[in-house]
Structure 1
């Protein structure tokens, strides 16, 4: 497990301790501390119950992984407002057309991958990749249970196991903030490589908070290498640096998430 994955639980434990030191043990301080300790409790529970050996091949990445959250990832996403509404907004930005080939990088348990494949119809192909072995195991199990044609494999964005110009659309939903700056750049170059000319890269991720209240929550992430460039607002610059043009913002969600469409230019004809 990447060391930066522990930032959230350690921050939660520190805040809970600070609450008790400042206000003592009262019913409301105990309630607040219990709320703060949900994150580390879920992490420990996830690490405990994924001890079973996965049949999926392992890949190495220096990015953060959410493999420990695989057993409860879908419930967690719904609980924090990243459920069907968020997925639907992402697909609305993607404007997927019938028959398109779709890649979902950092797919987690595959919810967005499956919905994207459904939007593209039976003639389409939808593939999800994630470096988390248990995430992919759960994604495959869910796809089989739901009768989805989406395919899943263990892989990391910085080394995509696909040929050049294979996909019409690549989706990246809340995964770029798991990568340090050099892996972001490498991963974006890989996305550019596997997209067809004129293909679309659809990104939903953290961005500069739209109001001061969010900054009170987000400021610690300015010191975390994987998330700092998100909150400094440099993601669009990374897209352009990788060769995407144009790069267009497509709205916000909850004041802290942003959506982009980045286009791989058509090949020039002489």
Structure 2
């Protein structure tokens, strides 16, 4: 797996970026997964939302459509994929805000957002950066705010286990298919961390999670 700068681009190579949306629509039940992620967040008017690692802004646009009275930000480290996202937002006449930046150094103040989303993003990061990104998500959330994650997880049947044997050879994905993402969320300070759904795909098991930043400082782990 080739690292490009301090991030891995969509499908790991910049030359594949223009076909990202087409590939995703063909390979994954993307609308179902992202729709479930949006639904579980119970969005409210006036909230500030962050799609961390937004890619082509498919989820970012869904968030804005689901709650037009929210302030929706999308952030990605890949300028090329953000250009695609901006074109999509322009065509949709959507008032989303797209920022260039990395998940491990979010360019936002503490307590900026009510909800943070990470859809098929964390598995692109090495272990230390996964942990840093989750700590950053915790930092920018308001007390009582929530993190919503869709990513690879522990296989849920024999077929998915066979697929996992192949994909886990990549260092970045191994943590996810070994089921470590919930533990990393807890280490970042989230309580509780819940799994909300599970999907089988051509690349393995995808799992959805909801994690909450404690509403009071006394509720945070030591």
How does the TM-score come out when normalised to structure 2?
0.90
- Verify: 1:139 aligned to 2:88, yes or no: no
Who wins on radius of gyration, i.e. which is larger? 1
> Where do 4+ consecutive residues of structure 1 move more than 3 Å?
none
Q: Please tell me whether the aligned partners of residues 9 and 17 of structure 2 are also in contact (alpha carbons under 8 angstroms).
A: no
**Alpha-carbon distance, 1:268 to partner:** 3.8
What's the counterpart of residue 3 of structure 1? 2
Q: Please tell me whether the aligned partners of residues 102 and 168 of structure 1 are also in contact (alpha carbons under 8 angstroms).
A: yes
Higher mean alpha-carbon deviation, 86-95 vs 153-162, is at 86-95
What's the counterpart of residue 83 of structure 1? 30
Q: Deviations over 1:226-250 (max 9, x none)?
A: 0111111111110000000011110
Q: Please tell me whether the aligned partners of residues 160 and 200 of structure 2 are also in contact (alpha carbons under 8 angstroms).
A: no
2:119 to 147, 151, 173: 173
**Alpha-carbon distance, 1:69 to partner:** 3.1
For 2:117 and 2:194, the matched residues in 1 are separated by 15
What's the counterpart of residue 115 of structure 1? 62
Q: Which has the higher contact order (CA 8 A, sep 6+)?
A: 2
2:9 to 56, 62, 65: 65
What's the counterpart of residue 259 of structure 1? 208
Q: Please tell me whether the aligned partners of residues 103 and 169 of structure 1 are also in contact (alpha carbons under 8 angstroms).
A: yes
More strand by share: 2
For 1:179 and 1:74, the matched residues in 2 are separated by 20
More helix by share: 1
Give the aligned CA root-mean-square deviation in angstroms: 1.7
What are the equivalent positions in structure 2 for 1:1-270 lying under 5 Å apart? 3=2, 60-61=5-6, 63-66=7-10, 67-122=14-69, 124-254=70-200, 256-268=205-217
Gaps of 5+ in 2: none
Gaps of 5+ in 1: 6-59
How does the TM-score come out when normalised to structure 1?
0.75
